[in-house]
Structure 1
Amino acid sequence: MRTICFYFQVHQPYRLKPYRFFEIGEDHDYWDDYSNRNIMRKVVEKCYLPMNQLLLELIHRHNGRFKVCFSLSGILLEQLEAYAPEALESFQKLVATGHVELLNETYAHSLCSLKSKTEFIDMVSVHQQKIKELFNGYRPRVFRNTELIYSDTIGETVSEMGYDGILTEGAKHILGWKSPNFVYVNAIEPKLKVLLKNFRLSDDIAFRFGEKKWSDYPLTTSKFVNWINQVPQEDEVINLFMDYETFGEHQWRETGIFEFMRHLPDAVFQGTNFSFSTPSEVIDHASPVGKIHVPIPISWADEERDLTAWLGNDLQDEAFDRLFELEKRVKDSKNPDIHRDWKYLQTSDHFYYMCTKFFSDGDIHAYFSPYESPYEAFINYMNVLSDFILRLKIEERDKIRS
């Protein structure tokens, strides 16, 4: 088996509006509807609609031999329903071809797997229901945790939830001499298959494609196929995992990214012995070569491939810890608005904006952040969280009085 597995993460957060200290106790609406709508419409026009149409054409042109996989966060799906129903319909058309796989994840693109097994399972269950509701009863078999965060224990929990496989990063410090181009199994629960991102080939498309200073610029299909053909013959699967917004948003149309993808399947079929497969097909047909041991969580972010994009500095840890101190109180609440805001406040993007890294990774963080600085992001989030805590206190007081 020699195959390529394309996986696309599709996610947009609910962004917080500027929330000042004097608004605590006065304003319980935290979300920047104007920015969320405008950003969603922009990404839909630049990425989702044109790329979905291109993928649909490629699937039909190649009679289903070209296949891809998506993970659509729950809050992304909510925003598509509200702001861009035509984009949601285009995703539904892709899935209806039978050649596009959907994965489950945490509904709110949350970091809860690092803090609470109960919340993790609950968040995944809500996402399962949303996928079932919007995609004609679809039931994913494979899981993708937020930002490909994975450890042995997270994988064990995912297996307990009934999944056959999980995606994560092929981090060098985990693999050592091993290749990411094979199927592995979870170190605790071998029933769970593990697919590892080939980060070099993935990032050639996702990050370096339009970089004119890159020594291999411009990236052509013939050049990419040549690199694929250099992969040892015994290697079974090349996992190309990336943000869907790579196409048209991070790499603008003017870079040629759409034309690259338009011609890539033909180049692969004509110039290699590779096919295209979905994650489920990979785990069904490729035999695992051994266990992958990940005692400390990894992710696909930054050079370190660890958690420091979201957790690790004092700002991030304070905000994250304060949020999850509220878990039991939130679960005791009967207020649906409390539960909604609790989910939205868990979204990993809020903590990403608080990252204080500099140099190359810092540039990437600044690109995605709506704030002037990580400190502004922290202050805004903590102001919102202070009001959220006040709402919980008022509800608990009223419950006692009644």
Structure 2
Amino acid sequence: MSNRETLLKDKPYAFVPLTGRVDRTAAISHDKLQSGLYTGFLEVTIKTLLPLHIGSGKFVFHNQRWHKQFVRFNGLPVIPGSSLKGAVRAIAEAVSYSCLLQHPKKPENAVPEQLLKCNHREKLCPACRLFGFAGGKSQQLKSHLRFFDLQLVQPRPEIALEYIQLPQLEKPNKDYPKNNKGFGNERLYYCHICRQDWPNCCQNCGKQQYFRLKERNPGAQPLFRGRKFYFHLRLRKIETGRIFTEVIKANSLFSGEIYVENISRDQLALLAFSLGLDGSFKPKLGYGKPAYLGSVEITVRPRPAANPLLSTASWPDLVELAREYASQAPAAQVKKLREILSFEQPRGEGWRQEGGNRIY
């Protein structure tokens, strides 16, 4: 058992703060292709910077052990388009004036009402307008982006696979002891109880300090910290444990496509930045982010569609467009995201050793 309580400063993640507003406008129609908007294919290449695991829900037998299997299509490893889309959307939501699509239900009022998820296609935030919106039948909006599965670029897939042991990961925001609500660990996800009583209070706040602050500020309303992202690892050595897992090695390549339909230049800029095309950060994909798996680098180039009616004649430079977006986006959110997801100056220190175990 741990002799030292969990502190936010020891965690392998940090939070991008929420914006104070959501900009909502009507969605762009899918009914027909419109002039002045971008339609066509983006060719995507993903390079794994550290091992990657996206589970299939099945097991594979290797070296006398059953391992959690990497997802496959027709027997070959793939990165599902849905996995890439989810990671990119999370970034897009964090760096735009978008709603909080998934938010905690308790404590009540931890998220300002104006930031709650969109509920009408005539009033959608930037992320919902671009990635789609799942309202009622009369209100839902199909995504303007279609992420196709990415195929492993390797004539012999077995060369890209390796078999490792990962640690057991905990459920996010787990209560300790089990089923004991309000036992103090909620302070990792919420703030504004202390009113900044001392420097770096949230990073160093222990349970007893937290309870004392709650007693001193009985009317203080806890607020959700923001959107959580995991650090890249400084030492480039992932955490290990006892869970046998099939992973894709670092420096492996996947290729695929994103089909974009009827998106504006501003929407294309948001997409370009959220893919990390300006080079200021690297996204993370798949399982095991707390153990520092999943760091990737994404490159993209436009490809005109075979049918000229389905293509845009002139695409802007997507790297420059991503930089342009960053200069106009919510500054505090862009700065924090870059700090968390910087691969050149990673903040992940690895798990700490305590009582013979490595914990986070």
TM range (shorter): under 0.3
TM-score, reference length from structure 1: 0.22
| Larger RCO (CA under 8 A, 6+ residues apart) | 2
> Counting strand residues as a fraction of each chain, which structure ranks higher?
2
TM-score, reference length from structure 2: 0.24
> Counting helix residues as a fraction of each chain, which structure ranks higher?
1
